Amino acid sequence: MTPADLTELKEATYLALIRLGSASVAQLAERVGLNVPQARRAVAALQRDGFIHRTPPPEELVVAVPPDLAVEQFVRQQEQELIRTREAVQRLAAEAYRKPSNRRTEELIEIVSGQAAVGWAFDRVQQTAQKEFRGLVAPPYVASAEVNQTQLERQSAGVAYRVVYDSTALEDPLLSASTVTHVQSGEQARIADALPTKLAVADRELALLPLDWNTSAHDAALLVHPSSLLDALVALFETVWMRATPLSVTETDGLESEAPMSAEDRYLLSLLVAGLTDDAAGARLGISRRTVARRVQQLMEQTNSRSRLQLGWQARERGWL
């Protein structure tokens, strides 16, 4: 019996159960016009797919599961199988690229063409990240920017997300709304003017960037494996990150960036980091020691710093010094 023959027998057997009610295997065989061994094979296949169940002895009747429930269960089984297949492929891919020193030059970079393939590659980068995902979001933007479900799943699994958005990104209401959801779920977000490119980096294992920065990034892209180029892309992200301004979600579920530091506060910080006392720094600025302490306290509150040492570190991270 071929798979096609078995499929036809399954359909005929299931329809007979739906229309005429439960029956024994022998009764089913008679209804559908099969011999008993054929009916048994059809029943076994339907039971495996969740379309029927069987009552215990002595009746041993075959009963149809309602179609809506049966199809829902079948779809879930298929989805789980696809998830298992994807995970298996990712494990194989990780194994294949575990030793970059043994790869040829052409294996360090993959060219990805077509919107569907680029989308799959972006998902692949996210799935590859085990500790941290870094991203630059720059124009042109996807027409319908939706919440990144893969990101929410990876963040739930413990992967940290650090993303810098181009200042024009928040002009898009759909992109802004999805960014709010991402930040509320744990994303560390910052904003900067004129980002150089789109970029997605998984740990130090895999990166995705546009093939041509002057055209849509959704048509063609590069996947970069561990190499000097990948190291340079990580360094690019970190440079942009340090100079970007943190984003936060407001009480009305909007986005706001930190107020820029004044030139006077920047000068004050530089004096304190250089080792001057509050009195000496105040004398340079023409303000009192109390005013110096008050401004430092305000900066510590703005950066959630618990000490002046931590404030200095935050100032460096944010590109204030």
Tens digit of pLDDT for each residue in 51-67?
888 888 887 888 888 87
In this structure, are residues 43 and 28 in contact, taking their beta carbons and an 8 Å threshold?
Answer: yes
Q: Nearest-CA neighbor of 135 among 190, 59, 78, 73?
A: 190
- Specify the pairing of strand 245-249 against strand 255-257: antiparallel
83-133: per-residue pLDDT in tens? 777 777 766 766 655 555 555 555 688 888 888 888 899 999 999 999 999
Higher pLDDT, 257 or 104: 257
If you search the block for the tokens 């002895």, which residue do you land on?
Answer: 57
Contacts of 149 (CB under 8 A, 6+ apart): none
Q: Where are the strands (E) in 193-273, listed by range?
A: 199-202, 206-210, 220-224, 245-249, 255-257
Whole-prediction pTM value? 0.55
Q: Name the one residue in this structure whose structure tokens are 């991402």.
A: 182
pLDDT of residue 164: 94
φ, ψ dihedrals at 220, nearest 5°: -155, 145
132 close to 163: Cβ distance less than 8 angstroms: no
List pLDDT tens digits, range 299-310.
887 766 778 887
DSSP secondary structure letter of residue 260: P
CB 148 within 8 A of CB 178: yes
Q: Which residues pair with 166 in a beta bridge?
A: 192
Q: Give the model confidence (pLDDT) of 25-47 as tens digits.
A: 888 888 888 888 888 888 888 88
Question: What is the rounded average pLDDT of the residues 262-279?
Answer: 81
Instruction: Give 129's strand partners.
Output: none
Q: Which residues pair with 248 in a beta bridge?
A: 256
Q: Please report, to the nearest 10 degrees, the dihedral formed by the alpha carbons of residues 213, 214, 219, 223 taken in order.
A: -10
CA–CA separation, 122 and 222 (whole Å): 10
